[in-house]
Amino acid sequence: MRILGLESSCDETAAAVVEDGVRVRSSIVSSQADLHEPYGGVVPEIASRAHVERIIPTLRAAMHEAGLTWSYLDAIAVGHRPGLIGSLLIGLTAAKSLAWAGGLPIVGIDHVHAHLYAGCLETQPAAFPALGLVVSGGHTATYLLESPTRLQRLGATIDDAVGEAFDKAATMLGLDYPGGPELDRLAEAAHHLGRDERAHTFPISRLKPGSLDFSFSGLKTAMLYAVRGRPGPGGSFERDHASLTVQAKQDLALGFRRAAIDAILLKLDRARKKLLRDGREPRSLLVGGGVSANSLLRRELASLADRWHIDLRLPPMEWCVDNAAMIAGLAHHQLAAGVADDLTLAAVPTTAC
Ligand code: KG4
Ligand code: ZN
């Protein structure tokens, strides 16, 4: 079964053709990072306009790269939640038009759920039950998956998502937009220079004993104070990032990255222990979302998978960040499970996962 997937939930316009849920025949991602860079964050109206301009060329490019004509498609899949409403509507409208014109089924996919599927593309089917981890700019959560389509949330962030914390910390350090990868690069350079991760330690959020939830706002505040000093009575700070040496920035990036990733590993360990207590030993670990591109997280997850004897599904870089291959791939399983939508499918700002 060949499915054309569309993704436009935030600032990437993407289209992909995936066969039988695994074989990625094409995957096109048009990033808008350059448009939002001057504002230091995604501007919803700019994002929607760019999606309008890019959606048709992007889906045409995906069909061209796949070497297919429209008549070879079996279904249209679209990320219809969560995201910026104006952005979601562009992909959704294009998907409905294609489905209607081609008389094809339409499948609405939850973007957060799709991130968990990214590591199942171009490889053998994963074994279930599986433990899932989504670490993105908008979400940070763990899941128990009984199959690619059936999942239950175990824990989630009570404040910021980890990607958001990375981005804000990077801004505080005066790094370029988008900040998460830049902060990772700075920390990685320091790591290769042999600098000490404990030169500057940051708090690791634990929450109450046994809690599976995450919190990153304290870590963000710790970075603010480390860079700018304590706020004075009028709310003004002692200094800004311009007064920091390169070495000081490296130490802060290293320490911040270590605390953020350790917090994720801690909650992953707690989630697995809970599943073991419930007699649901996970056979796979499905990881997705932009922060799964983080160098330290990738190294730590690889060694953790060795220790746990679990099949780690860590997507290659191109499928860590937003893409449509994960949308089209998951849609195959949704259709196989008999779940399809119709032209009344709505755009929804929140996740169902
Ligand atoms: O999944 P994604 O592309 O979009 C959302 O669904 O949110 O994730 C984007 C997030 C951004 O916050 C970005 O800074 C972060 O992923 N990110 C990283 C890295 N690469 C992307 N964070 C830390 N280290 C990285 N290497
Ligand atoms: Zn995403």
Q: Considering the entire predicted model, what is its pTM?
A: 0.96
Residue 235 confidence (pLDDT) above 80: no
* pLDDT above 90 coverage of the chain, percent: 94
Q: How confident is the model at residue 337 (pLDDT cuts 50, 70, 90)?
A: very high
Percentage of residues of the chain with pLDDT beyond 70: 100
149-172 per-position pLDDT tens digit: 999 999 999 999 999 999 999 999
289 Cα–ligand 1 center, Å: 7
Separation of CA 164 and ligand 1 centre (Å): 8
Does residue 167's CB lie within 6 angstroms of at least one atom of ligand 1?
A: yes
Q: Is 244 in the pocket of ligand 1 (CB under 6 A)?
A: no
- The pLDDT score that the predictor gives to residue 239 is 83
At 232 the pLDDT is 83
The span from the CA of 90 to the CA of 67, in Å, is 24
Is the CB of residue 291 below 6 angstroms from any atom belonging to ligand 1?
yes
Average pLDDT of the chain? 96
Convert the chain into a string of H (helix), E (strand) and C (coil): CEEEEEECCCCEEEEEEEECCCEEEEEEEEECHHHHHHHCCCCHHHHHHHHHHHHHHHHHHHHHHHCCCHHHCCEEEEEEECCCHHHHHHHHHHHHHHHHHHCCCEEEEEHHHHHHHHHHCCCCCCCCCEEEEEECCCCEEEEEECCCCCEEEEEEECCCCHHHHHHHHHHHCCCCCCHHHHHHHHHHHHHHCCCCCCCCCCCCCCCCCCCCCECCHHHHHHHHHHHHCCCCCCCCCCCCHHHCCHHHHHHHHHHHHHHHHHHHHHHHHHHHHHHHHCCCCCCEEEEECHHHHCHHHHHHHHHHHHHHCCEEECCCHHHHCCCCHHHHHHHHHHHHCCCCECCCCCCCCCCCC
Report pLDDT for 276. 98
Please give the pLDDT value at position 241.
Answer: 85
